[in-house]
Amino acid sequence: MSTRVREPVLFLVIGVLIASLMVFVVYPSIQVFLYPSGTDFIKILMNPRYQRSILNSLYIVVLSTLSATFLGFIYAYAITRTDIPFRKFFKGISLLPLFSPPFMVAFSYIMLFGKNGLITSKLLGLQVNIFGWHGLWFAQTVAFLPVASLVMEGVLQSIPPSLEYAGRNLGASGFTLFRTITFPLARPGVAGAALLVAIQVLADFGNPIMISGDFSVVATEAWMRVEGWADIAGAAVLSLLLLVPSFLIFLFQRYWVSRRSYVTITGKITQIDIQKTGTWIRWVLFLICFSLSLLIILVYLALFMGAFVEGWGFNWTPTLRYVQEILSRSPELTNSLLFSIFAGAGSAVFSITAAYIVSRKRFFGRRFIDFTCILPAALPGIFLGLGYSISYTKPPFDLYGTAAIVVLALMFWNIAMGYQTGIGVFQQISPSLSEAASNLGAGSLRIFREIEIPLIKGPFFSAFIVSFIRAITTLSVVVFIVTQKNVVTTFSIMNLVSDGFYGKAAALTCTLLIIAFGLLGITKLVLGKNVVLFKV
């Protein structure tokens, strides 16, 4: 109440934040719950086809999570804790997929290891069918390995070095040290990483739609339901099946695992001399990292090659046809670019404002903002996309086929990343900085210009970049809301791949990659080390 009187602008901003979150996050989510009737639930759940897809989803989540987490841990351990050669290179390679479309791995592996695959068929002369659970497992393992590895690196680095020193000092070395000290200390973090990967695997739409063949999973079935039968209620039931576990994992991860962590901050951080790793372990680790990074590099190589080959798999004549086609006419690219710029900017403004207010002010509704800003991270893209499709394609909010519906969906789907980065930064910056400035005689405008703006700049740009890249590369959020009029690139790519037009699909994917990495490069160049990307 006093806020309203003393700081009317703040009060207004808080009102706008809460209203937007209600309308664009909570409302569409609730719509998905309300849309299907009880019989719809029973119909779907009793149908053997969907029972199978539920089992399939469970099965692939367990498999892909285990393999990605396991390999990710080895990868992270090798690049942070050992002296294998090319650690920096391996680290760099593992970051690339974070800025690339998630379905890219599946698409590329079809070109490499499929029936007409470059490696399997052309080089090795094998007849392999990559479509199915094994192809999906393979693609998802490589696709989610980078996230797992990145989280695990953080976990390993947060173990106080003196504990490992103490272990060594008391006679443990090599594997004994790892078994008794390093791993037990990392275990809670590893569990957290596994859950994070599990959420993403469960919600993954791009990889299964391209590579899983007859092996149907819940995410793809939800889309088929709409695409094939125009049965939105059925799709809603299926997407709720995705939401519930991922929401539970999200709550569990946020409120339980994070509290159980052993990580403590001890005053003195000392330089670590990395001990010599045993020779054969060193080579085994090197070989693992080498193979994994090769698998990642191959993804990009194949896409790049694919863009310049006449007919992948049967006619290897080089061509510039697809590149010219894209350059001459591609409404989907223009759309993607525009939508993502608006969504990225909107998301950055919204999430940084929210983060700033939540970390600096005390007010009624603060916890609601905090929770709802992170919530989208737990919403599978399919679920949110469907929510928008249900909520905003009929009066009173008829945005069917407009740019607005895509921009809004992409914007609010991405606020969690920027918000968390912002909170992290603002928590490190003491509010007493502004107080100190005020104490030294600076007026509030001056404080804002000289103290707050420079502090906000870093998190703002990282929020923009991350949101932009996620927006331009996502497929799952947009599949339910794009039409002929507001089609985006990832959607076109999906259709081109399923129709077998690999050349143009590859060329479009490469263009997305060039845009994403180009923007990343420019930002790094302009802002230097101020940008924190993918804080996990």
Partner 1 sequence: METIHLRIQDVCKSFGNLRVLNHVSLDVPQGSFTTFLGPSGCGKTTLLRTIAGFYTPDSGEIYLGNRFMNTVPSHLRNAIMVFQDYALFPHMTIEENITYGLRIRKMPKDQIQARLERTVGYLGIGNLLDRMPGQISGGQQQRVALARALIMEPELLLLDEPLSNLDAKLRINIRAELRQLQQRLKITTIYVTHDQAEALALSDRIAVMNEGKIVHYGTPQELYYHPADPFVASFIGKVNLIRGRVTQHTLEGTWVDVQNITLLVKNHFTYLQPQAEVILCVRPETVRIVRASGDREENAIPGYVTNFIFEGATIRYWVNALDQEWVVDVFDPAEVLPPDTKVFLRLKPERIHLLPGGSQK
- In this structure, what token pair is assigned to residue 154? 């953080």
In contact, 51 and 258? CB cutoff 8 Å: no
The residue count for the chain: 536
Q: Residue count at the site for partner 1 (CB under 8 A)?
A: 27
Taking the complex as a whole, the smallest distance from the CB of residue 1 to partner 1 amounts, in Å, to 42
**Residues 132, 184, 431, 443: which binds partner 1 (CB under 8 A)?**
184
Taking the complex as a whole, the smallest distance from the CB of residue 191 to partner 1 amounts, in Å, to 13
Q: Binding mask 438-477 vs partner 1 (x if CB under 8 A, - otherwise)?
A: ----------------------------------------
Q: Which stretch binds partner 1 (CB under 8 A): 171-179, 375-383, 451-459, 476-484?
A: 171-179
Enumerate helices (H) and strands (E) in the chain, giving the number of each. 27, 4
**Residues 39, 169, 428, 484: which binds partner 1 (CB under 8 A)?**
169
CA–CA–CA angle 173, 177, 178 (5° rounding): 125
**Residues 62, 124, 126, 170: which binds partner 1 (CB under 8 A)?**
170
Of residues 15 and 184, the one with the C-beta less far from partner 1: 184
CA–CA–CA angle 14, 15, 18 (5° rounding): 85
**Residues 26, 66, 172, 281: which binds partner 1 (CB under 8 A)?**
172
One-letter identity of residue 102: P
Residue 160 within binding range of partner 1, rule CB under 8 A? yes
Strand partners, 104: none
Of residues 180 and 427, the one with the C-beta less far from partner 1: 180
Instruction: Give the span between the Cα atoms of 267 and 16, in whole angstroms.
Output: 42
One-letter identity of residue 399: L
What residues from 264 to 293 belong to the interface with partner 1 (CB under 8 A)? 264, 266-268, 271, 273, 275
Instruction: Give the span between the Cα atoms of 390 and 406, in whole angstroms.
Output: 13
CA atoms within 13 A on the CB side of 42: 3
DSSP label at 35? S
Taking the complex as a whole, the smallest distance from the CB of residue 162 to partner 1 amounts, in Å, to 4
In contact, 460 and 533? CB cutoff 8 Å: no
Q: Binding mask 130-149 vs partner 1 (x if CB under 8 A, - otherwise)?
A: --------------------
Q: How many CB atoms lie within 10 A of CB 451?
A: 18
Of residues 173 and 483, the one with the C-beta less far from partner 1: 173
Residue 324 within binding range of partner 1, rule CB under 8 A? no
Residue 158 within binding range of partner 1, rule CB under 8 A? no
Strand partners, 318: 309
Provide the binding-site residues for partner 1, judged by CB under 8 A.
Answer: 160, 162-163, 165-173, 176-177, 180-181, 184-185, 187, 262, 264, 266-268, 271, 273, 275
